[in-house]
Each structure stands twice: as structure tokens, then as C-alpha cells.
Amino acid sequence: MTAADVVVHAQGSTIEIRLSGEIDLSNSDAVREKIFASISNHLVAVTLDLSEVSYIDSAGLRVLFALTERLRLLQTKCTMIAPPGSPTRRVLEMTGMNSVAELKP
């Protein structure tokens, strides 16, 4: 199994979730569970920092799209951070993630 780390920092009605490592089929369910456990109905905004993600496959992308859909239903703003030119940023842009979440450098 590949390694991925999920760290959640709550600040009132907002949270920042920092992901690092590789997110793929072998660990996407565990990553999804950790992320979704941190989401409450009372959040105003969620920031997902993907700066330290070195690899993400389709299973990882499904987790991100499921998260954005859940946040849309909760009317919670979603922002994703990925450095310009990084492999993760390119994958997010190619899959249209910027149409469902704000992408920031």
C-alpha cells in the first residue's frame, strides 16, 4: 500500500485539509474516510492543500470529486491548492476540477 497522509486543521467554521504522499486505489478509501469524517454540516469553507501530493490516480480524483459534490450540497465553499506546473495541478486542470472548486497556486 502506498503512503498518504491527511492532516486536518479546524478554525471555527472553516477547515484546512493537507494531503501528502500518493493517493491511489490502494489508499483512496482510507483517505476518503479521513476527509469526510472532518466535514460537518456547519462549515462555511474547506481548503484542500494538495501541495505535497506527489501522485494521484483516478481513484484519488474520485475522492476529490465526491468531496466537491458533498460540499456543493452543503453549500460550502471549496478551494484546492496545488502549485502551478505541478503534476497534481495539471491533472486537476485536465479533469475540469476548476469548474467545481476554486484552484489556487
CA 71 vs. chain centroid, Å, equals 11
pLDDT mean across residues, the chain: 96
Distances in Å between the alpha carbon of 56 and those of 3, 32, 51, 61? Answer: 12, 13, 12, 7
pLDDT tens column, 28-38: 999 999 999 99
pLDDT tens column, 15-64: 999 999 999 999 999 999 999 999 999 999 999 999 999 999 999 999 99
CATH number of the domain where residue 31 is located = 3.30.750.24
Question: Does residue 89 form part of some domain?
Answer: yes
Question: Does residue 45 form part of some domain?
Answer: yes
Question: Does residue 2 form part of some domain?
Answer: no
Question: Does residue 90 form part of some domain?
Answer: yes
What's residue 1's pLDDT? 72
pLDDT tens column, 69-83: 999 999 999 999 999
Domain count, the chain: 1
d(CA 12, CA 44) in angstroms, rounded, equals 9
Question: Does residue 28 form part of some domain?
Answer: yes
Question: Does residue 3 form part of some domain?
Answer: no
